[in-house]
Structure 1
């Protein structure tokens, strides 16, 4: 991102709502089933929407 590369929020793209991640405001995107797997940058709303899924 620092080099200007643009990324699509993978989580929103899976929901049929692809958009670019804001390089000034993003979260690391981890797999929901295996937290050791990095999926790519996410937008904060997409990431935070998953907060209630886990115990």
Structure 2
């Protein structure tokens, strides 16, 4: 089963960014939804995770 797991704070942030509900973000990250907005949400989640990893590596 494919899914992108991120912290709830990021879900709230993305819900505000994309003007949608946290449920929409969650379902997009669990690949239940596959709309254009869902694809953008997944792309943004990956960017946030990569940014977090980069911060850990720099420490």
TM-score (norm 2): 0.27
Structure (1/2) with the larger helix percentage: 2
Structure (1/2) with the larger strand percentage: 1
